[in-house]
Amino acid sequence: MMGFNGRGVWAIYRFELARFGRTVWTSLITPAITTSLYFIVFGAAIGSRMTEIGGVPYGAFIVPGLMLLSMLTESISNASFGIYMPKWSGTIYELLSAPLSPFETVIAYVGAAATKSVIIALVILATAHLFIDINIVHPVWMIALLLLFAVTFCLFGFVIGIWAKSFEQLQVIPLLIVTPLTFLGGVFYSIDMLPGIWRTVTLFNPVVYLISGFRWSFYGTGDVAIEYSLAMVGGFFALCLLAVWVIFRTGYKLKA
């Protein structure tokens, strides 16, 4: 029985991180600048009028949402681009013929993309700490949720990379679906501040549960119970795993 091909996984993982390393300063400076602008604009415009939400200073309140706003987009983009490039260049056939199982291939690509996303999220956290003191109530849960969200949405990005037929299609879902849902998911406000009907409508936005759960790990409070947040991300994680399994089982858009 063939064992785990750690060398092959490490080779792909290192190659993907090397691509990240060639643009490391741009990749790290951009979220730092963006986070600073959010604090300058929203902190000055809104924070001066709304000092606290649920007992949490407004500047600290938006930090978990800002981290997820960038991390979800980066996770999808990194993972989708990573697997789309072999398809675009034709090297996907070499990858499929290599002594790597589908499980090992997914670990390599998703692991590299998740590593980049987590690094960017931590850069945003460090940048935010320059503007406001942040005391994390459940640090272990925060790290666990950060990793879970990164891996889940990197799996989602991996599926998009297989599905996409062009570079334009790689951007459709992150730009037109994920980013708007994140902005409307309570990044800059609590859904408890919304009128009854709009609060009910907002609860159909799955990103609300992610932001709420992540905010709970910081401050011990959220818009929805942490159990619902874990159930939501767990269900989506399972769906992404199922989609990846079907792709390799059927060869969908891999073996044209």
pLDDT score at 94: 83
Comparing 12-26, 65-79, 163-177, 217-231, which segment has the lowest mean pLDDT? 12-26
Are the beta carbons of 13 and 108 closer than 8 angstroms?
Answer: yes
Residue whose structure tokens are 């000092």: 51
Dump pLDDT digits (tens) for 167-193. Answer: 888 888 888 888 888 888 888 888 888
- Pair of tokens at residue 123: 């850069």
pLDDT beyond 90 at 57: no
Q: Would you list the DSSP string of 125-181?
A: HHHHHTTS----S-HHHHHHHHHHHHHHHHHHHHHHHHH-SSHHHHHHHIIIIIHHH
Cβ-defined contacts of 128-135 (< 8 Å, 24+): 128/35, 128/39, 128/59, 128/63, 128/66, 130/36, 131/36, 131/39, 131/43, 131/59, 132/39, 132/57, 132/59, 132/60, 132/63, 133/60, 134/60, 134/63, 134/218
Query: Which range, 12-21, 88-97, 133-142, 175-184, is most confident?
Result: 133-142
pLDDT score at 1: 42
Its pTM stands at 0.90
